[in-house]
Structure 1
Amino acid sequence: MLPEPYRLRRSADFSATVRSGRRMGRRDLVVHVLERDAADSLVSVNGPRFGLVVSKAVGPAVIRHRVARRFRHICAGLIDTVPVDTDVVIRALPGSATASSRELDKQLRSVLRKLDLLAGEGDPA
């Protein structure tokens, strides 16, 4: 489970990350990343924040909630590896409904690695 302080909640934070951040996609997801300013007084958490966008295109509510739970679990494992001043928005694509958790984790880590955001993880040869 992703602890509350590490969740993106405000619509303005989602919008800023999606509009101003860097973006990269894979088969089952698109990741938007924005590095926060140190002077941003509204942010009180000392760690990365993750947000999820799982639209109806992914499937019915049961499937969307399952996909969101998988991504929250994956993000909880990334808290210590992503820089503390980073907001990450993950947009699930329809293929994420049938992808395994391992495959989603692999795709997300691949994107974060390409964006130079995974500390302590070397690039696989």
Structure 2
Amino acid sequence: MTWARHRLRTGDDFRRVTRTGTRSARSHVVVHLALSPERGPEPRVGFVVSKKTGNAVVRNRVARRLREIFRARLARLPDGADVVMRALPGIDQVPFAQLEGEVGSALDSAAAKLARRREARRERPEREDR
């Protein structure tokens, strides 16, 4: 599988997802999830690993671990999903299995919040222009 088609690339995309999407945090990760169905069915993922996490070697290792965790979850994301995963300091000390659990839990929580938000919008009656 090629990872390139599943990457968020631009700062505008990252900003849109973090500002308009749902947010779910765990001890070492924060997940932002937004839908962009007009863009196409392929889910896209972006990672934010700041210098607070560690030096370049540590940041790259963290990004590789997160990418591997997401690889198995891409098929379960809804069509047009965009995800931004932010790593928090201390993530490099977390065992892989625990990190998988945190990412899965945060992603499930964000997806549930997004579904509730979409359902609330459907139930809300259309406003009439005055």
Q: TM-score normalized by structure 2?
A: 0.80
How far 1:33 moved relative to its partner?
0.8
Counterpart in 2 of 1:17?
17
Rate the CA distance shift 1:8–1:106 in 2: closer, same or farther, 3 A. same
SS in 1 for 2:76: coil
Bigger helix share: 2
Residue 7 (structure 1) aligned with residue 7 (structure 2): yes
Deviations 1:25-63 (A, max 9, x none): 000011111111x33xxx35x321110000000011100
SS in 1 for 2:108: helix
Structure 2: gaps spanning 5 or more residues: 113-130
Pairs within 5 Å for 1:44-83: 44=40, 46-83=41-78
Distance 2:20 2:89 in 1: 24
Distance 1:2 1:89 in 2: 19
Distance 2:2 2:53 in 1: 21
Counterpart in 2 of 1:26?
26
Structure 1 stretches of 4+ with a deviation exceeding 6 A read: none
Structure 1: gaps spanning 5 or more residues: 118-125
Counterpart in 1 of 2:116?
none
Larger radius of gyration: 2
Counterpart in 2 of 1:121?
none
Residue 35 (structure 1) aligned with residue 35 (structure 2): yes
RMSD between aligned residues:
1.6
How far 1:103 moved relative to its partner?
1.3
Distance 1:2 1:61 in 2: 24
How far 1:2 moved relative to its partner?
6.2
Distance 1:2 1:54 in 2: 21
8 A Cα contact 2:31 2:110, kept in partner: no
Identity of aligned residues (%): 38
